[in-house]
Chain A
Amino acid sequence: MNGLSRGILFRYAWRGLWQRRACLLYVLFLPVVAWLLPRLTPWEENPPVLAPARVQAVCFYLWGGLLAFFPFQAAVLGRRLHTEGLLEHWRAGGRKPWRLALELAAAVWLWVVAATSAGMLICALFCAPAQPVEAGLWRLLVIQQGGLLLLVSGPLILLAGAVGAAVSELAGTLVAASLVALGLFGIDWLQPLLAPGARGGPLSWLWVALPHYDLADLTSRFLFKLGPLPGAVFAGSAVALGLQGLALVLVSLCLFRAKS
């Protein structure tokens, strides 16, 4: 024992995030959003849309968090640890930079897990269809959505934290937010230009390298009750997003700077 707790950066960062309450409020606000936002619409004209609208509100809230809130938290945390001199302090103590980076990201990612779990619980318990077979398929879709969200969020948080520590809070937030925006919305615009079949060669490779977070957004399947993704499609999406996430993790670890 060297007097320092295990997972020291994780514990320290998590304690700070808990003390600030911002992440806690984000999670606690999720049920409010799921209940309130659908009721701001003229839902009385067609009451059955209330449940899908709740799902849409939850998904919107979670993706919104992944677009801005969580990357910002990670980037601010990374920058703060850098300016406080703690990254250097722990680095001098022999801790590996990759471990510091992963602990930093884990402290924020835990809140993503909490928010995603809360969101998926709301979807599964309060928005599921009444018919038992449909409800079973609905729950499977909920699990798929939660899994894909968690899969893409980890590397994004790590990237934001790494860039935040190395450059600035703003840079960390913007880099991660840009990737999410590109992966969710930009990909549809770029598909006609870059997708395999449209053009060959390097453009196709660029298409492969672009973030495909649209694969992880199953909101439309909830809204139109399309059921869960077929096993092969889900596995393909998970592998593609996992490989992209792995690449993002490697880039993040290269960018992370524990020393000034």
Chain B
Amino acid sequence: MTSFDLSFAGKDHFALFGVPRAFAVDGTELERLYREVQARVHPDKHAHLGDAERRVAMQWATQVNEAYQTLRDPLRRARYLLQLAGHDPAIETNTAMPAEFLMAQMELREAVAAARAAADAAHLDDLHGRLRQEMAAQHEALRLTIDERHDYARAAEIVRQLMFQEKLMSDIDAALEAAEA
């Protein structure tokens, strides 16, 4: 799996933007802060300066991009919070999932395969929307488990399920692309 630097200039991604360490984030405010910070550190702002400045600018801009991308994406944010809390979601090893979740996913997967075979873009679009809704519900569940119940073991379970769902989402996107070609 991809590993992140846990700290830069002694700070985690939340501290870097000065926002609370929580699953719930104000996306608009985060974006504003991202632009504010990037406007100061971006290499383009230091291109006319010496090597030392340019190198620091590149490191900062890279880190700010990484922090922003991590915090704005719910799944990556959840994984990062688990990592900060010292909980390994054990993505490679723990593949156990509730039977009903697996059944629902299997059904959805079959529907995608059928729609893909029929190059039925409209149906694929429907499935895309359905999955998006299911994922939004999972995000809300993550907020509850992490921010309110601090139940990291349960959060890790949801994270594993979401990774499963995200993979299916990219399969739908690929099928849509193929159907439109």
Please say whether chains A and B are actual partners in one complex: no
